[in-house]
Amino acid sequence: MRKMIIEENIRADGRKIDEIRPITCEIGLFEKTHGSALFTRGETQSLGVVTLGEPMDVQIIDTVFEEGERRFMLHYNFPPFSTGEVKGLRLSRREIGHGHLAERALKNLIPSEEEFPYIIRVVSEILESNGSSSMATVCSGSLALMDAGVPMPKHVAGVAMGLIFEEDKFVVLTDILGMEDHLGDMDFKVTGTRDGITAFQMDVKVAGVTEEVLREALERAKKARLHILNLMYDTIPEPRKELSPYAPLIKTTKIPLDKISEVIGPGGRIIKGIHKDYDVEVSIDDETGLTKVSGHNIHNIDEAINYIQNLIKEVKKGEVFDGKVSRIENYGLFVEILPGKLGLLHMSNLGKDAKDILKNIKIGDIMKVEIISIDDNGRIQLKKFGEKTAPRRSNSNRHHRSSETSKTEEKND
């Protein structure tokens, strides 16, 4: 095989040294997955499947070297049948390494959390393998992400370059076979977009690779990558505008950091109430205030976001609201002017018919009220809209009694 390549520039499958195997791309293979693609290059075939998750689906990283969260994951599976073998299914070091390489190739093109608040998982199932299955994974993953509607700015493709080195002569191979990887001197995987490289990995079996070899390998890899990218863009030129109807719905809003506690409430009472009342999940980032609301009904999500925005809204003296009566006492009413914001409407601010109003009103009734004051503790005083504010009682008698008491105490002392 090495002699044919060095002396005749002919490869084991009859290709020229810079020729790529036939490629086909398909998308939207499955009805209920959020995105799917099948990328075939010669006898290597990768099935990419994308799942979009809600915020609680994030992967928690807690290792000796790293702590944090991963919102983009790529998993690579290499079942024995892909190479015609029968053996037990197990996760090998090779599969983990190939998955990491493909993930690195794609992750910098993944949109930010603010732009696309989903947790994204790509799974590559290698259905057939004869060289460069990790590069096929990059291609199927990129196609499947766009099929899922993930707003990827560009496609990413990958190709594996090989090398046959004999004394003073070398030949660089494009899109190597499994045999050329096993019997050759180099496996140089390069991934990227039309604008540049996103990841690469090199395995060599010779003492060193010269600048001349590396330069030629990169130039050939660029030419091959552009050819593959053209075929991928012909299949799906941009991300789908709409997500799968089976994907969860997520919207975001921003909460000031000093208002987060108001949304959560004592013991989580308010946020649990939002979960229950609107059938949604609410996730709040303590460091940025980014709040994600997810569910399966867009109307409920919008209502929950509106409720949260009203919770953190600042109210001012003189503002008028259609409030809902939430509590009735002998001295007045407690009226909810915004979600979670109660004000006291004292009977002295109900007008001449205060007693009749207290007698006939029911919890849940709507009243038009105006804010007349907000004290330092945030307690809100209300009046019935259109009524005059009741004058405050004089404190002169109380002050007089306090003064007399003080004099008596001084005399006793």
Higher-scoring residue by pLDDT: 53, 385: 53
Residues 6+ apart with CB under 8 A from 180: 1, 11, 12, 131, 162, 173
- Is the confidence at residue 404, as pLDDT, over 80? no
- Concatenating the DSSP letter of every residue in 84-96 gives T--------HHHH
Averaged pLDDT for residues 72-87: 93
Query: Which of 40-54, 161-175, 380-394 shows the lowest mean pLDDT across its residues?
Result: 380-394
d(CA 214, CA 150): 34
Q: Say what the pLDDT of residue 19 is.
A: 94
Token digits of residue 145: 């992400």
d(CA 95, CA 241): 33
Which domains does the chain carry? Answer: 2-235 (3.30.230.70), 249-311 (3.30.1370.10), 320-384 (2.40.50.140)
d(CA 267, CA 341): 17
Q: Say what the pLDDT of residue 348 is.
A: 85
d(CA 233, CA 236): 5
Closest CA to 250 of 92, 53, 397, 71: 53
pLDDT per residue over 284-320, tens digit each? 988 889 999 999 899 999 999 988 988 888 888 888 8
Higher-scoring residue by pLDDT: 406, 275: 275
Cβ(238)–Cβ(146) under 8 Å? Answer: yes
pTM of the model: 0.79
Give the count of alpha carbons within 13 A of 384, CB side only: 18
Question: Which residues sit opposite 191 in a β-bridge?
Answer: 158, 199
